[in-house]
Amino acid sequence: MDNLLNELQETHVAAWNEKNKATRERLLRTVYSENIKMYDKDFILDGLQAISDFIEKLQTSDPEFHFSAAKPIEGLQDGARLFGHIRTSEIPLDSMDFFLLENGKVKHLYAFMSPAQ
């Protein structure tokens, strides 16, 4: 499971920073299920394509957007959490992504964000 989690962390971070749509979607497909759901406090995204489009929107609206891991991913049964930092042109954010895995891929992604401490 450690190799799977390490790959998830590396690929997830790389995909959220990737500006080329085809490359980003290839990265996402290696760790996300096609029918993944992403949950934010304000919305739910349904499907890998919707998440890729959301990433593109973030990058287009804020060229300073950059996501990085704050510490190594931690696994628990079929779940994992990744603490991160998000750089924006406005305020830096801290994040915690919680992943539910099914058949080795992310089926559900819960994204928590708050102003950086």
Residue-wise pLDDT for 85-113, tens only, equals 999 999 999 999 999 999 999 999 999 99
Report the pLDDT value the prediction gives residue 117, as an integer from 0 to 100. 85
Counted domains in the chain: 1
b/e string for 35-56 if b means 16 or more Cβ within 10 A? ebbbeeeeeebeebeebbeebe
Cα separations (Å) of 15 from 7, 27, 94, 115, 117? 12, 6, 18, 22, 25
55: nearest Cα among 12, 89, 98: 12
Q: What is this structure's pTM?
A: 0.95
Predicted confidence (pLDDT) at residue 57 exceeds the cutoff of 90: yes
Residue-wise pLDDT for 67-80, tens only, equals 999 999 999 999 99
Query: In terms of residue numbers, what domain contains 101?
Result: 2-115
Supply the CATH number for residue 100's domain: 3.10.450.50
Report the pLDDT value the prediction gives residue 1, as an integer from 0 to 100. 61
Average pLDDT over all residues of the chain: 96
